[in-house]
């Protein structure tokens, strides 16, 4: 009788251990990532590139959400209504962090990346390869890069490595060409063609 109880207890323990080991996987099933944009042609194109890269390579559902300003998008990012956004280091430094202009691109990226991580729990990934001037006075050009919530990267450990495959892949000439093509053929088709050309999907 005692042996039977001991066996039953061991079976229950084994069941609990196996369920707790499986729970992180179960928790990720059906998870949706949200990419936020400010609705410009460039933002929408880059969002399509990210969406297709993630869905084709991981099977994760990705949705886009459009906001009418950088401030609104940033607030949604902070509140976890958005997982990923395309940031520009010039805007990040001047409009979000309210910092002083930094002319050197590498120093600007480093400063913004550090403060976003430490103060906002937002992680700047590898720059895409092109720069955009800020829309506010100061004359600072900012590198474009995906910005992801820190807790999102914890839930999807392989996400940063995947997205960083775009690092340096979209230079100034490429982004201009892709935007021109997207105006004619649509952002989704152009994004898919770009990813296939670069063997990313």
pLDDT the model gives residue 140:
82
Residue 101 structure tokens: 């202009």
Look-up: residue for tokens 């990934």? 125
* Domain span including residue 85: 31-196
pLDDT tens, position by position, 128-169: 999 988 766 687 889 999 999 999 999 999 999 999 999 999
Bridge partners (DSSP) listed for residue 66: 37
98 burial type by CB count under 10 A (0-12 exposed, 13-18 middle, 19+ buried):
exposed
Instruction: For the chain, give the secondary structure using H, E and C.
Output: CHHHHHHHHHHHHHHHHHHHHHHHHHHHCCCEEEEEECCCHHHHHHHHHHHHHHHHHHCCEEEEEECCCHHHHHHHHHCCCCCEEEEEHHHHHHHHCCCCCCCCHHHHHHHHHHHHHHHHCEEECCCCCCEEECCCCCCCEEEEEEEEEHHHHHHCCCHHHHHHHHCCCCCHHHHHHHHHHHHHHCHHHHHHHHHHHCCCC
Task: Single out the residue of 78, 73, 76, 170 nearest to residue 131, CA to CA.
Answer: 170
Domain presence at residue 67: yes
Residue ranges for the chain with pLDDT beneath 70: 1-30, 135-137
pLDDT digits (tens, 9 = 90+) for 170-186: 999 999 999 999 999 99
Any domain includes 26 = no
Domain-embedded: residue 87: yes
In a domain, 7, yes or no: no
Instruction: For residue 115, tell me if it sits in a domain.
Output: yes
Q: Give the model's pLDDT for residue 26.
A: 30
Q: What is the pLDDT of residue 179?
A: 97
Does 16 fall in a domain? Answer: no
Residue 177 contacts residue 169 (beta carbons within 8 Å): no
Distance CA 98, CA 109 (A): 15
Residue at 161 is within a domain: yes
How far is the C-alpha of 123 from the C-alpha of 102, rounded, in Å? Answer: 19
The CATH number of whichever domain residue 181 belongs to comes to: 3.40.190.10
Query: Is residue 51 situated within a structural domain?
Result: yes
pLDDT at 45: 97
With beta carbons less than 8 A apart as the criterion, state whether 33 and 84 touch. Answer: yes
* Number of domains present in the structure of the chain: 1
pLDDT value of position 30: 53
pTM: 0.84
Query: Which is it for strands 131-133 and 122-124: parallel, antiparallel or unpaired?
Result: unpaired
pLDDT of residue 137: 66
């Amino acid at each position: 009788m005692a042996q039977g109880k001991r066996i039953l207890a061991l079976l229950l323990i084994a069941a609990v251990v196996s369920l707790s080991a499986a729970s992180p996987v179960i928790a990720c099933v059906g998870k949706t990532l949200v990419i936020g944009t400010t609705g410009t042609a460039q933002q929408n194109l880059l969002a399509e590139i990210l969406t297709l890269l993630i869905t084709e390579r991981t099977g994760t559902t990705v949705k886009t959400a459009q906001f009418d300003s950088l401030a609104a998008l940033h607030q949604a990012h902070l509140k976890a209504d958005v997982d990923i956004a395309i940031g520009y280091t010039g805007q990040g430094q001047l409009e979000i962090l309210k910092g002083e202009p930094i002319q050197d691109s590498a120093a600007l990226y480093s400063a913004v990346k550090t403060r976003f991580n430490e103060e906002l729990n937002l992680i700047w990934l590898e720059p895409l390869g092109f720069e955009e001037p800020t829309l506010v006075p100061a004359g600072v050009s900012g590198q474009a890069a995906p910005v992801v919530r820190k807790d999102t990267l914890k839930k999807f450990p392989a996400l940063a490595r995947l997205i960083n495959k775009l690092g340096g892949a979209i230079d100034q000439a490429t982004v201009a060409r892709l935007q021109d093509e997207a105006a004619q053929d649509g952002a989704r088709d152009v994004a898919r063609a770009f990813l296939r050309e670069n063997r990313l999907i």
